[in-house]
């Protein structure tokens, strides 16, 4: 957890990318 605490920006970018990829996958399924 120290990695996430030391790099909050990296965790935010990771979560944002994950959500974006899931949203894109769902959009393509439609």
Average pLDDT over residues 4-22: 85
Percent of the chain topping pLDDT 70: 73
pLDDT tier at 14, thresholds 50, 70, 90: very high
Where helices occur in the chain by DSSP H, the ranges are: 2-6, 8-29
Rounded Cα distance, 21 and 7, in Å: 21
Per-domain boundaries in the chain: 1-25
User: Which pLDDT band, with edges at 50, 70 and 90, does 2 fall under?
Assistant: low
Distance between CA atoms of 10 and 27, rounded to whole angstroms? 25
Checking if the pLDDT of 4 tops 60, the result is no
Question: Region 4-29: what's the mean pLDDT?
Answer: 84
Say what the pLDDT of residue 3 is. 58
């Amino acid at each position: 957890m120290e990695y996430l605490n030391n790099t909050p920006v990296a965790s935010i970018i990771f979560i944002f990318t994950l959500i974006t990829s899931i949203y894109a996958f769902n959009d393509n399924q439609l």
